[in-house]
Amino acid sequence: MKKKILNLIKKKNKSKIVSLTAYSKNIATILDNYCDLILVGDSLGSVLYNYKSTREVSLNSMIEHSKSVRMGVKNSLMVVDMPHNTYRNNKEALKNAKRIMLKTKCDAVKLEGGKKIYQIIKTLIKNKIPVMGHLGLLPQSDKIFKYKGKKKTEREKIIKDAKLLEEAGVFSIVLECVEASLAKDVTQNLVIPTIGIGASKYCDGQILVFDDLIGLNPINYRFVKKFANIRKEILKGVLKYSKEVKAHKFPNKKTSY
Ligand code: KIV
């Protein structure tokens, strides 16, 4: 197993894992010194391209963004989402995961689902492709976006799926929008770390979509805390620029050839 992955697993019960998404080099460069894990998430479909769902994201799009992110990531573990319809069977999953690994030089791929993709995950891992799991709310396949863990059957399924994924060999599992006590149960039941998004403080680590945390993406989900207001800063800069252009102050001698 890669050293970076082993180090991430070792953090369980010792220190919280810090993770964020990145879709480009400049952002990845800033995050790299502060994150244990950087995910090129297929959330880029809704965040950057205004798609209705992540189901519209293509493999090529993921690869191009990941190539950009790779240039900015030196220290963190870099994980790339396999988009919808790229891992419907073992053969397809292996071909596409190999392509992602080769083209992007990422450390691992992430797939959404439990029992249904157990064999697929095993195939990838057997072929030396490290895999991160993703349970709870599954944006690639869920029709309704609601937190998970209200119903007993739902809780039992997530606990079972988490154990199955661990047995298949994933090195960590993202828990998305999972009720707090369920996230706690899953986390305590596993040897590998859980990374939560809207899944309470009980997970071994946290992840947020970077554009959400800086207040660039105009959404208001309960689980998103806006740690910065970058829109305000951008507006300030753009207004200043606009004023200077109109006042013939920019460009001046210093900024001209
Ligand atoms: O696509 C994504 O950004 C994700 C995170 C929400 C975990 O999967």
32-64, pLDDT tens digit by residue? Answer: 999 999 999 999 999 999 999 999 999 999 999
- Would you state the structure tokens that stand for residue 247, as one six-digit string? 């006042």
The pLDDT tens digits for 175-198 are: 999 999 999 999 999 999 999 999
pTM of the model: 0.97
State how far Cα 3 lies from the chain centre.
Answer: 20
112 an active-site residue? no
Q: Please give the distance, rounded to the nearest whole angstrom, from the Cα atom of residue 139 to the centre of ligand 1.
A: 9
Centre of ligand 1 to C-alpha 220, Å, is 16
Is residue 181 within 8 Å of 154, Cβ to Cβ?
no
**CA 120 to chain CA mean position, Å:** 20
Q: Is 165 in the pocket of ligand 1 (CB under 6 A)?
A: no
Long-range contacts of 92-95 (CB under 8 A, 24+ apart): 93/120, 93/123, 93/124, 94/123, 94/124, 94/127, 94/129
Ligand 1 pocket: which of 44, 207, 212 to mutate (most atoms within 8 A of CB): 207
Find how far residue 246's CA is from the centre of its chain.
42
**pLDDT beneath 70: ranges in the chain:** none
> Could you tell me which residues come within 8 angstroms of residue 175 by beta carbon, excluding any fewer than 6 positions away?
135, 136, 158, 183, 186, 187, 194, 195, 196, 197, 199, 203
Report pLDDT for 219.
86
- For residues 8 and 37, the answer to whether their CB atoms sit within 8 Å is yes
Q: Which of 167, 176, 179, 233 is catalytic?
A: 176
Contacts of 143 (CB under 8 A, 6+ apart): none
CA distances from 173 to 19, 52, 112, 176, 190 (A): 12, 25, 10, 10, 10
Closest CA to 111 of 139, 73, 91: 139
> How far is 190 from 204, CA to CA, in rounded Å?
10
CA 81, distance to chain mean position in Å, is 7
